[in-house]
Structure 1
Amino acid sequence: MVIVNLILFGFCLGIAWVISKTTGLMFKTSVAANVPGGLSQLVLFAEEEGDVNLTAVTYFHIIRVLGVVLLIPFLVSGHVMSGGAIPVSVDAWQIVQLILVAAALVPLGKKIKLPVAHFLTPILVIIVLKLFSIEAAPMPSDVLHVAQLLIGAYIGLLLKPETLRLPVKVLIGGIASTVTMIALTYGTSLLIANYLDLSFATSFLSTAPGGLDQMGLLAAAVQADISVVTVFQLFRLLFIFLCILPLIKWVYSKKNT
């Protein structure tokens, strides 16, 4: 996972440098636009930073999400495996408790300056619970749908009509960056499939530049190994938010002092 992510982020930095040179976007904006994290998380990061072009970052990640959702199912459609979904019992009170605890700890995440504290704090809460062998209740799909609608509405409200004009170079750059990133992860997935003896669907969904939720849903649809896909995708998100984004903030804070 470390090797795959180092290759991916090294490649993304290269794409970001090319995009910044060809489109005129600030390199910090270009990096935030090309880092393969979740759409909502990177948009929140761009909003927090203030000097990042929020519209460009949103556009690049929307194009990436659309590319992933439209292209990847076709690429893995021939690798659907048999098997049924495992029913999961849901305890509504446990879910409410989990949401309240995670929400209550968000201010602590902000205080210790976690990047995108609203996203990262709940993840760290679940990790701590797992470390103490405490099983967290699985979120029902209806709750996730409501959360995604609220996130989408929030992102939509951030965008102002007067800021939605982007140069043609930026529009083309977003499409080119998405296609290039999917091609790269396709290649790395073939290596991982052979090295770790995984199915192509599992290895590709593990490395694809989509969000954790999207790749998890696709993994369930094609009966790939959801545990492996989730671990790879979660590791990448944590790598982004605990290593890459703090590094970007630190570099630019040094430049401004």
Structure 2
Amino acid sequence: MKPETPLPAPLAALVPWQQWALLLGCSVLLAGMLELVRLPAALLVGPMLVAIALGSNGASIRVPRPLFVSAQALIGCLVASSISPGIFATFLSEWPLFLGSAIATIAASSFLGWFISRLKVLPGTTAVWGSAPGAATAMVLMADAFGADSRLVAFMQYLRVIMVSVAAALVARLWVDTSGVEAAAVEWFPAIEWPAFGAMLGVATVGGTLGYLLRIPSPYFVGAVVLGATLHLGFGVALQLPEWLLAIGYALIGWTIGLNFTRPILRHAARALPQVIGSIAALMAFCGLLAWGLHRLLGVDPLTAYLATSPGGMDSIAIIAAAADNVDLSFVLTLQMLRFLIVLLFGPSLARLVARAIRE
């Protein structure tokens, strides 16, 4: 049997500046198209898809590491600024309910990750991180820091974000008419509030540096989260993250992930697609049952329960919940944020535990 002849890589003939121009132009075009159809995480998914196409066709360019770590710190500031003090009051009022629901979802996702790994669909702890129900970008960054294949983790995470968000929007439409609700206009270039903007830059720089010096896992992201949350919650320091800057950060992360895709990795992801879709559907079904239990046993309104337990796509879930008048937004965001924080704190240990179980 003859060995497989490698296909030509057409982009290898282009000089770096031509590759960068192609990457930038196509990313802006695709991200804009995805934004128009309101696809979740369009500003990250669009550039990542373009980078995958270029990377698998011979592109040699790579995002410089200082830019990538800066983007990680930026996302850390975003997470820190999204944690509001009101969430803790809501949590304390019904903490057994929130904690039990969050742990049940994490346990189910970990089991599915273990099951996919046992089937040899995805290697090592990749399936565990890919199944983790936290903020998708954060899970990809942490997975990379702990040795999992960030390309396949991103493949699982963003596919789930899209599936969960579409399902949540359809479920919401069954309970509330959102046809007359217009999405809030995005202010791409707001006036710079220099104290808040400077605080964000300081948190990103100092937090990332401290994380690196203290050898924290995923140091630039986690360091910015810890420092930013401390200043934001403890001292009321505001952090301004303009939309244009977030778009740059999302693009840098998407490009870094996508440009590392090769044709063999793409083929592997394609072969794993049916099992990955099946695992996402199973996790969504489990969360649906959990929502039904919250509604039947505790009287939580069904739409609130469903949105609160949806596994991932936190930003999209928040938008859908805010559009529905009868949804308890604070309940939804508290459960979503609690689950994310648990995965952030205990995800590495959980991944190691599942990896040990796979080996045994």
Alpha-carbon distance change, 180 to 102 in structure 1, aligned in 2, over 3 angstroms: same
Quick one: which of 156, 160, 173 aligns to 1:77? 173
Separation in 2, partners of 1:196, 1:127: 32
Q: Taking every aligned residue pair, what percent have the same amino acid on both sides?
A: 25
Q: Which amino acid aligns with 1:151?
A: I
Distance 1:126 1:19, change over 3 A: same
The 2-side partners of 1:34 and 1:120 are apart by: 20
Which structure has more relative contact order (CA 8 Å, sep 6+)? It is 2
Equivalent residue number for residue 46 of structure 1: 143
Cα distance in 1, alignment partners of residues 296 and 237 from structure 2:
33
Matched length: 254
SS of residue in 2 equivalent to 1:132: helix
Matched, 1:235 2:332: no
The answer (yes or no) to whether the contact 1:106–1:117 under 8 Å persists in 2 is yes
Alignment partner of 1:11 is 2:108: yes
Q: Distance in 2 between matches of 1:113 and 1:142?
A: 30
Q: Per-residue deviation at 1:175?
A: 0.4
Deviates more, 1:151-160 or 1:238-247: 151-160
Aligned to 2:76: none
Q: Which runs of 5+ in 1 are unaligned?
A: none
Shift of 1:103: 0.6
Separation in structure 2 between the aligned mates of residue 158 and residue 41 of structure 1, nearest angstrom = 18
Q: Look up the match of 2:291.
A: 189
Give CA-to-partner distance per residue, 1:15-63, whole Å, 9 cap, x none: 122212223433412211211122222222232233x233322221122
The equivalent residue for 2:226 is 124
Q: Name the CA shift for 1:140/1:53 in 2 (closer, same or farther; >3 Å).
A: closer
Distance 2:296 2:217 in 1: 35
Q: Is the contact between residue 202 and residue 229 of structure 1 (CA under 8 Å) also seen in structure 2?
A: yes
TM (norm. structure 1) is 0.80
TM-score norm. by structure 2 comes to 0.60
Q: Superposition pairs for residues 147-186 of structure 1, below 5 Å? A: 147-166=249-268, 169-186=271-288
The yes-or-no answer on 1:199 pairing with 2:301 is yes
C-alpha root-mean-square deviation of aligned residues, in Å? 3.5
Q: Distance in 2 between matches of 1:17 and 1:169?
A: 18
Q: Distance in 1 between matches of 2:248 and 2:240?
A: 15
- Whether the 8 Å contact between 1:23 and 1:170 is mirrored in structure 2 is no
How many angstroms apart in 2 are the aligned matches of 1:17 and 1:196?
31
Equivalent in 312, 317, 332 of residue 215 of structure 1: 317
Gapped runs of 5+ residues in structure 2? 1-97, 185-189
